Amino acid sequence: MKFSAKWAFAMLLLTSTRVFCQDAESDQVLLEKNEIALWTAWKNHDVKAYMEYLTPTSVAIESYGSVSRGKDLILHSVQSDYCKIRNFSLRDFHYEWVTKDVVVQTYHAETSSTCGAHVLPQKVIASTVWTKLNGRWQTPFHQESPDGK
């Protein structure tokens, strides 16, 4: 009887791990699309994606030293024509799963952009924390740091 219980537990563990991995892979595809949507929205000064994906207390730390705390301030920043994004590309997405509902997404970005008189670093390493709230992926935190390479 003990062998059967151990066998059943092992099968349950393997099955649940496989389901989590499949869910994680599909979520990673979705989160990459979400991140691209946010960069596109920033370029176009369109707050729609930001309204959908930000939490009320989101924090954004930009590569040029700006810190925006709160969804309203971030939305104001996106709508403003202070930053001009001529183009961007994102690559090398990686995911560190904290739980099945919390993941840290990191990637490299290249952009040709200015914010006021500041020329933004052409290459940055970015990280976004995504959390599933009420069945929807949202981001409470995003940070960019100049890529020293």
pLDDT per residue as tens digits for the range 86-130: 999 999 999 999 999 999 999 999 999 999 998 999 999 999 999
Q: For residues 37-44, give the mean pLDDT.
A: 97
Whether the per-residue pLDDT at 16 is higher than 90: the answer is no
d(CA 36, CA 51): 15
pTM: 0.83
Query: Is residue 70 very low, low, confident or very high in pLDDT (cuts 50, 70, 90)?
Result: very high
Q: What pLDDT score does 1 carry? A: 46
Residue in 107, 85, 108, 81 with CA at minimum distance from that of residue 95: 107
Q: Which domains does the chain have, with CATH numbers?
A: 2-146 (3.10.450.50)
Q: For residues 133-148, give the mean pLDDT.
A: 95
Q: What pLDDT score does 4 carry? A: 58
Could you give the percent of the chain with pLDDT greater than 90? 77
d(CA 94, CA 70): 26
Q: What pLDDT score does 22 carry? A: 59
Kindly state the tokens that stand for 79: 């709508």
Residues 6 or more apart from 118 whose CB is under 8 A from it? 64
- Could you tell me the CA-to-CA distances from 25 to 6, 19, 68, 89 in Å, in that order? 29, 10, 30, 22
Q: For residues 124-142, give the mean pLDDT.
A: 97
